[in-house]
């Protein structure tokens, strides 16, 4: 037995807690009556809280590695653990309205936990084989979650997600195979040491394969087609999860990948181009959407473009990594707030249906405004600080045109966010609109919007942690 195996288990305790809770909820749900399935949500929430606490404790310590250095326990991993746990907890809160008492309640909680565990593995993977395992664990539960809607649109979204996931998953595995073939190793430091002398063609092919697979998981161009369909057709709980939590692991896996790529291939320019296309296409497609969840789905595609910006200048700007981590945290709570509003009012599936919300539910209207203006990047919300710092990183990394693209796309996105905000703050006229908000989703929306504001106001303290 490896004498350090106990330490390995302690270092990966957050992942063990989340995955173990998923097994417990899945098995326990088979023996619980439908009226008592809510216990699964309690177990899931307890495990996520425990994982966040352990992650915070480990974040305060030095950087370490686990399992023969194939898993990194450092600041990016610690931040990913905490942010993913918070995002999943917000999803569980919304689930209290949507799936409480449903026949697949415990299975939904288990799938959310399994996917979150895969996200955590992706975030810390320092080895190509661990990356592949985390990708599969994070991806497969998503297909089932989206398909739980049991509607024609839900089936179409699940099939589209599955087919795209299979295609880009194969590309990722092919990329892993090629990189292993040219370096003789799957461990990132060893891969990095060999790639400089490897032929540029195979290195580029392998890098593009892995990059494509991770872009599917992130929901960015060119693997984005499933995102708006899933956001519109799945339940609010699932839509909120798939547009938020998986991004954390995918983007951090991309960060670790680019740190080993050599300068013999133009990986920085490729990621910058994907960033611009994602943010631009997402914004243009969102202009014409009338369904609020589909609008948020295309907004998610554009937000992935912003998240790719600091990755293009990793190693060339000291702002890149802390800006990326801060933006991930800011996006998670802000996007969760927007989806929670749509889940609190499930029958309002057109933007104009929110007319008069401020009179009937003022706090919910304020939460909606904070969330959408937050996604836009309006001060003092957290995404404002995130966009400012990623643009600064691009400028510092000698990609000024990329910083300009961030500001231009931010201004362009104002229109479609206002298309949702303006009706909510207009009078309903002579009609008396009744907005029957759900019990769990409404306070979740207000709380997540408050977190977005708090993170923006306290950005200085958060930045100290990220750079410390």
Question: Could you identify the residue written with the tokens 């939904």?
Answer: 108
Query: What's the pLDDT at 429?
Result: 64
Distance, in Å, from the CA atom of 198 to the CA atom of 59, rounded to the nearest integer, reads: 36
Decide: residue 401, CB within 10 A, 0-12 exposed, 13-18 middle, 19+ buried. Answer: exposed
Helix (H, G, I), strand (E, B) or coil at 66: strand
Could you tell me the residue ranges of all domains in the chain? 287-468
- pLDDT tens track, the chain, 468 positions: 344 444 577 899 999 999 999 999 999 888 877 777 778 899 999 999 999 999 999 999 899 999 888 999 999 999 999 999 999 999 999 998 888 777 788 899 999 999 999 999 999 999 999 999 999 999 999 999 998 888 899 899 999 999 999 999 999 999 999 999 999 999 999 999 999 888 999 999 999 999 999 999 999 999 999 999 999 999 999 999 999 999 999 999 999 999 999 988 999 999 999 999 999 999 999 999 999 999 999 999 999 999 999 999 999 999 999 999 999 999 999 999 999 999 999 888 899 999 989 988 999 999 999 999 999 999 999 999 999 999 999 999 999 999 999 999 999 999 999 999 999 998 766 565 667 777 889 999 999 999 999 999 999 999 998 887
CA angle centred on 223, ends 88 and 272, rounded to 5°: 95
pTM of the model: 0.95
Distance, in Å, from the CA atom of 264 to the CA atom of 195, rounded to the nearest integer, reads: 9
Distance, in Å, from the CA atom of 83 to the CA atom of 55, rounded to the nearest integer, reads: 10
Which among 17, 19, 25 has a CA at the least distance from the CA of 104?
25
b/e sequence 406-434, b meaning 16+ C-beta within 10 Å: beebbebbbebbebbbebbbeeeeeeebe
Q: Are 374 and 383 in contact (CB under 8 A)?
A: yes
């Amino acid at each position: 037995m490896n004498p350090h195996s106990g330490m390995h288990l302690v270092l990966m305790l957050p992942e063990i807690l989340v995955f173990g809770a998923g097994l417990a909820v899945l098995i326990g749900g088979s023996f619980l009556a439908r009226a008592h399935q809510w216990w699964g949500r309690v177990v899931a929430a307890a495990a996520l809280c425990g994982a966040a606490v352990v992650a915070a404790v480990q974040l305060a310590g030095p950087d370490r590695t686990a399992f023969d250095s194939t898993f990194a326990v450092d600041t990016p991993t610690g931040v990913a653990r905490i942010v993913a746990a918070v995002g999943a907890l917000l999803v569980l809160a919304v689930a209290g309205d949507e799936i409480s008492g449903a026949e697949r309640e415990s299975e939904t909680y288990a799938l959310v936990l399994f996917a979150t565990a895969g996200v955590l593995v992706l975030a810390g993977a320092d080895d190509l084989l661990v990356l592949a395992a985390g990708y599969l664990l994070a991806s497969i539960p998503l297909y089932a979650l989206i398909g739980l809607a049991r509607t024609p649109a839900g089936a179409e979204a699940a099939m589209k997600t599955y087919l795209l996931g299979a295609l880009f998953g194969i590309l990722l595995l092919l990329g892993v195979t090629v990189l292993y073939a040219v370096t003789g190793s799957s461990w990132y430091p060893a891969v990095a040491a060999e790639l400089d002398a490897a032929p540029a063609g195979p290195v580029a092919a392998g890098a593009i394969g892995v990059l494509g697979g991770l872009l599917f998981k992130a929901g960015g161009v060119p693997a984005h087609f499933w995102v708006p369909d899933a956001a519109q057709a799945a339940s609010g709980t699932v839509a909120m999860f798939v547009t938020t939590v998986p991004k954390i692991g995918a983007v951090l896996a991309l960060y670790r990948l680019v740190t080993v790529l050599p300068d013999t291939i133009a990986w920085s320019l490729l990621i910058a181009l994907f960033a611009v296309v994602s943010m631009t296409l997402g914004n243009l497609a969102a202009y014409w959407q009338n369904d609020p969840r589909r609008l948020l789905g295309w907004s998610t595609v554009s937000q992935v473009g912003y998240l790719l910006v600091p990755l293009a200048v990793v190693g060339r700007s000291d702002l890149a990594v802390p800006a990326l981590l801060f933006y991930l945290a800011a996006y998670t709570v802000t996007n969760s707030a927007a989806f929670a509003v749509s889940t609190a009012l499930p029958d309002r599936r057109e933007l104009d249906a929110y007319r008069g919300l401020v009179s009937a539910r003022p706090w919910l209207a304020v939460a909606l405004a904070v969330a959408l203006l937050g996604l836009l990047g309006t001060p003092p919300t957290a995404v404002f600080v995130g966009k400012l710092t990623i643009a600064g990183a691009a400028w510092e990394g000698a990609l000024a045109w990329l910083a300009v693209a961030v500001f231009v796309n931010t201004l362009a996105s104002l229109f479609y966010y206002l298309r949702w905000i303006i009706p909510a703050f207009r009078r309903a006229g002579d009609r008396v609109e009744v907005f029957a908000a759900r019990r769990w989703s409404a306070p979740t929306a207000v709380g997540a919007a408050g977190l977005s504001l708090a993170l923006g106001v306290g950005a200085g303290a958060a930045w100290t942690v990220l750079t410390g």
